[in-house]
Amino acid sequence: MDNFDLIVIGGGPAGYAAAMRGIDFGKKVCLIEKKRVGGAGVYDGALTSKTLWELSNKVAGINNSLLSGGRSAYDVPWKTLKKVLDEAVFERKFQYSCHIKLLQTETNGRLLQYERGIGSLVSKNEVKITQNGEEKIICGENIVLATGSRPRKLDNIEFDEKNILTSDGIDHLEDYPKSMVIVGAGVIGCEYATIFSNFGKTKVYLIDRQDRILPFEDKDISSLVAGNFEEQGVTIHHSAHLERLEQKGGGIEYELKYGDGRTEVIQVEKALFAIGRVPNIKSLNIENAGVKMSKRGRHIGDTDTQTNIPNIFAVGDVSGRIALVNMGEIEARHAVEKAFTNKIEKLSYDNVCTIMFLKPEVAAVGVNESQCIEKNIPVKVVKVDYSVIARAIAMRKTQGFFKIIVTNDDEMRILGMRAVGEHASTAIQGVGLLIQMNAPIEVLSELVHPHPSIVEGIQECVRMLLNKSLFKSSVFKDKLACYSLVDGVKTPLERL
């Protein structure tokens, strides 16, 4: 029986990161992947959807210029988009496969063994690998479970991934759908609504069970995104419950029931379900090793990547925390460090930077205004509109804003930030670092930012809090805001 210091089950972003971190410690690692290294981080997931989003933004920008000048829209065949998509996937896949082969060659197989197959637990130290009907058992001092997740489906819907799709099928379309209903108005649903409405070839319907999309974010964000959807012809079914969805007459027919009792039947060409993801746990046979489920009964473990069996760790989508590629990688590195060092500090989730690829782009870190109201946290809030930022004016991209939330005291430590607009994702990380360091806002106020740049808007935010801003909120009330929020009551902080 082969013995390893570390066995990693799952070769997606989290599993791959765990394997590489084990190699950093000079440990003998076995990486097991049932299908393709990279997982949903490369295939039918993060890379493909963001490639489509980038392409759709370029197409939308070109067509806005053409149509405003009275010319015809630029027609991009789907096969052209698919070619670019396939190239992006191949490039990342090639990097992974080459890296594994070269690493094995350079170390003579001493540090990394790559196994293709399904990994499952036999005991707390033994893993069975099954491939093409053949089985073998290996032994590991430590085991990392990183088997990822799959799109959640409804039991009463027949998914063929051609007409009724999840994210697993959307990248394999043969042409633009003439019309599409998207079930689920969370991040993924809104991202695909952005993509297909940007291309301008598809009539998009978005089913939202809540009274507004992106209900976990502040209303000013969801309202801005929803307004752009409607301008692009997207129909949002607010407060709607899906009563029925089925293939009919060569297309899709769905029936909705609204909160006021109304019903509506609509026919479209395709349906996309974006209603969350389900951890891939079943094939792991965790009960053989005595690993227990989380308190919610849906994920493995609850404690800082470590399960109730000390040498077995759960990371990425199976950990039950934040299902993002970057967090999966961080969790994986943290788990391996716990396994091979005396690392005792817990992994922090307080300064996780996230991006929503919408129109406009939305970036977030820390708490938002709604959460402060819900938890009754007294704070100060400052908001700067993109229209007063020189770089946004130069780009002619003035839709959006920065919003920073700080403690309601003299120290004014940053608790959270939302950036909405062009280049939003490039502006968020510095604030995430300040949150982690618990550094004062003066750091941002006195830093010499590049000019012109979008991040200058962040500097103007903190200068408003310090009462030394370029523009005053009491004068530009439609573009700037600075207020305290105590017991849910807003009080303007307008000083001259």
Domains plus CATH for the chain?
A: 3-43+84-150+278-340 (3.50.50.60), 164-275 (3.50.50.60), 354-489 (3.30.390.30)
Quick one: DSSP state of residue 210?
S
3-state helix, strand, coil in the chain (%, to 5): 35, 25, 40
* C-alpha span between 159 and 153 (Å, rounded): 8
Q: How far is residue 235's CA from residue 432's CA, in Å, rounded to a whole number?
A: 35
Instruction: Give whole-number Cα distances, 128 to 39, 52, 109, 113, 122, in Å.
Output: 20, 38, 20, 15, 6
Amino acid letter, 351 = N
- Give the torsion sign (CA, 171, 176, 181, 187): positive
Tokens of 54: 């980038």
CA–CA dist 96, 37 (Å, integer): 7
- 19, 38, 39: which is closest to 29 by C-alpha? 19
Amino acid code (one letter) for 7: I
Say which residues have a Cβ less than 8 Å from residue 312's Cβ, sequence separation at least 6: 121, 124, 142, 143, 144, 145, 289, 291, 306
Task: Please identify which residue in the block is written with the tokens 């782009």.
Answer: 361
What is the structure's pLDDT at 297? Answer: 63
Is-contact 339 314, C-beta < 8 A?
A: no
- The tens place of each residue's pLDDT in the chain, 496 residues long, gives 799 999 999 999 999 999 999 999 999 999 999 988 998 889 988 999 999 999 999 999 998 888 788 888 888 999 999 999 999 999 999 999 999 999 988 887 789 999 999 999 999 999 999 998 899 999 999 999 999 999 999 999 999 999 999 999 998 999 999 999 999 999 999 999 999 999 999 999 999 999 999 999 999 999 999 999 999 999 999 999 999 999 998 899 999 999 899 999 999 999 999 999 999 999 999 999 999 987 766 678 667 899 999 999 999 999 888 888 999 999 999 999 999 998 888 888 878 899 999 999 999 999 999 999 999 999 999 999 999 999 999 999 999 999 999 999 988 999 999 999 999 988 898 888 888 888 888 888 888 888 999 999 999 999 999 988 888 888 888 899 999 999 888 999 866 5
Query: CA 107 to CA 94: how far, in whole Å?
Result: 20
What tokens were used for 478?
């439609």
Report yes or no: 350 and 432 within 8 Å, Cβ to Cβ.
Answer: no
Measured CA to CA, the distance from residue 113 to residue 19 in angstroms comes to 10
Whats the size of the chain, residue-wise?
496
293's tokens: 């489920």
225 contacts 359 by C-beta, under 8 angstroms:
yes
Q: Are 347 and 398 in contact (CB under 8 A)?
A: no
**pTM summary value:** 0.93
Q: Pairing between strand 149-151 and 277-279?
A: antiparallel
**pLDDT score, position 442:** 85
Residues 32-41 as b/e (b if ≥16 CB within 10 A, e otherwise) read bbbebbbbbb
Q: Residue 262: what pLDDT?
A: 95
Q: How far apart are CA 53 and CA 48, in angstroms?
A: 9
Residue 443: half-sphere exposure toward Cβ, Cα within 13 Å: 14
Q: What is each CA distance from 470 to 196, 347, 403, 445, 460, in whole angstroms? A: 40, 39, 17, 12, 7
The letter for the amino acid at 139 is C
